[in-house]
Amino acid sequence: MPTAKSTVKAHITSRDLRILSHTLFLTMRRQVHMLNRGLRAWKQRRMTRGVLAAGTVGIAVGALLTGCGSGENEASSAAANEALTSILSNFTPAPGDEVPNVDVKFAMWPYGDTTIGFIGIEKGWFKEAGINLEPAQGQTQLDSQTSANLVSGALDTTLDFLPTRVNKYEQQPSIKSFGVTNMFIGNYVLASPSSGLKPLSDFLVDGADFNAAVSSVVDEIQPERIALSDQPAPHNLLNALLSIADKTTGDLKNVQVLEDTKIVNLAKGGGTDVAMVSGAAQAIQLLNMGFTPIFAFQDLADNLPAGDDRVAAGVGHVSLAATSSYIGENLDTVLRFQSVYWRIIDYIQTKPEEALAVSLPHLNQATGFNLSLEESMRIFRDFYQMVGFGDSAKFYDDPTYPLGLGPVYEAQIATAKGHGVIKGDVSPTDFVVGGQVYHIMNELKTKYDQAVSISTASDEVKTKAQAYYDAFNFLDAYRTLSAASPTAQQ
């Protein structure tokens, strides 16, 4: 049996969780929203310049336009999905050496992982891709506003949270994710400094079995005083631990379910040995008292099989989103928009200090926090998992990847159907077309790689095309090369 993995680090400090304050608050707000809707899981203009088969364009776009109203029925939604799939499947770029300028109404969300678009604005990368954002300086809107603004046309593109999309799919089937940007995982079991409780990693020695190690963690907390938040996420994590250990909450000797603030007050008086809170501010206070993590949600993701409900219920992905009609009518723009975000994510992954120094002032302004650059870097290093171009194949295509599209959202859809939130037949690709967008761009990248060696284009043109390529804009890299060297077209 493979050696189990643990991600709990004893050196996590109060600073580590202090910089999570805004992200954990958002996480819980999303989870409560989904719970209220009956889910136990982690909630929830111009024609493309691409050359499509004659007749397909009119039929496909017509279906998209008739299937985008808020009152669309199942049949029209299915027709719209089929039409968009046809457009994406038949896309072929038109050669050209210029990138057209297109106005795009865009809004981000005011949170740590959702303000990274400001990097692209400040660096001028959207403009390089021919995208004139409205407003030009960028804007943030609350996630409670953006979906409605997308459907009404007040926005062309925005951000979305895929568990929410599961929950709302049958009410807003026209909204599609066209590019996942990242995921957040950050729930912990915290032990008091006087408890002497050991982290999971202490039990994962010499190739120990994960289930046995989790059982050891449960055995050691079983007789202890446990203060458990009255919010969903800590309950989900605790229930996952207990299920692995083949135990229930009835096996725990002393559990109090309290509001987070009351848990902190209890801890101040030495009244608890284990704390599981949902609010970041309360987690900060506990860490300042010397509490340490002994188990992390990431441990579940690293060790349970793909599609396990206990993992799927605890993870969610942020994505770029637009309506199906917008994507179908502006596919070139959507591809370029995605390329800018891949460039931003690559910048964060390879030069985090430079990248986050650009976005930090916007993040602090949008959230009201005063994070330092070091804290911002730690957020993206330890608590966000970015999904860049190089990560996309695994996310969209690998059925064995526990945090991938299929395993996570097939399980979440099943849970939603079990609670009556989804009544029809729905699959993840009904609301996520990012895999098709990725495959278009990856194919263009492959064609460019093959064509550049035989291209008769001038060095100047090749340099221009390569600049697009290096910016993940494989669409215009290939277009530019093909326009100057017809023999390079494939």
CATH classification at residue 287: 3.40.190.10
pLDDT above 50: residue 165? yes
Pair (361, 404) in one structural domain? yes
Range of the structural domain that residue 66 is part of? 44-183+316-440
pLDDT above 70: residue 65? no
pLDDT above 50: residue 309? yes
The more confidently predicted of residues 369 and 267 is 267
90 by Cβ neighbours in 10 Å (0-12 / 13-18 / 19+) ranks as middle
- Give the chain's radius of gyration (CA, Å): 24
pLDDT above 70: residue 45? no
Pair (346, 322) in one structural domain? yes
Look at residue 487 in the predicted model and tell me its pLDDT.
59
161 HSE (CA, 13 A, CB side)? 26
User: Phi/psi of residue 278, each to 5°?
Assistant: -105, -30
Place of tokens 């917008």: 326
Look at residue 53 in the predicted model and tell me its pLDDT.
29
Look at residue 476 in the predicted model and tell me its pLDDT.
97
Q: Which of 59-63, 335-339, 366-370, 434-438 has the lowest mean pLDDT?
A: 59-63
Look at residue 38 in the predicted model and tell me its pLDDT.
34
pLDDT above 80: residue 367? no
H, E, C per residue of 129-171: CCEEEECCCCCECCHHHHHHHHHHCCCCEEEEEHHHHHHHCCC
Q: E-strand spans in 393-445?
A: none
Residue 411 within any structural domain of the chain: yes
Question: Model confidence over 435-457: pLDDT tens digits?
Answer: 999 999 999 999 999 999 888 88
- At residue 312, what is the residue type? A
N- to C-terminal Cα separation, the chain: 47
Claim: this prediction has a pTM higher than 0.85: no
Look at residue 364 in the predicted model and tell me its pLDDT.
85
Cα–Cα distance for residue pair 203/183, rounded to 1 Å: 28
Across the chain, what does the average pLDDT equal?
84
Pair (178, 194) in one structural domain? no
Pair (219, 167) in one structural domain? no
Q: Which of 298-312, 335-349, 398-412 has the lowest mean pLDDT?
A: 298-312
Residue pair 91/48 in contact (Cβ under 8 Å)? The answer is yes
Question: Model confidence over 116-139: pLDDT tens digits?
Answer: 999 999 999 999 999 999 999 999
Residues above pLDDT 90, as percent of the chain: 62
pLDDT above 80: residue 7? no
Pair (204, 228) in one structural domain? yes
**Number of domains composing the chain:** 2
Pair (105, 199) in one structural domain? no
Pair (302, 354) in one structural domain? no
Q: How far is CA 20 from CA 192, 229, 279, in A?
A: 20, 17, 10
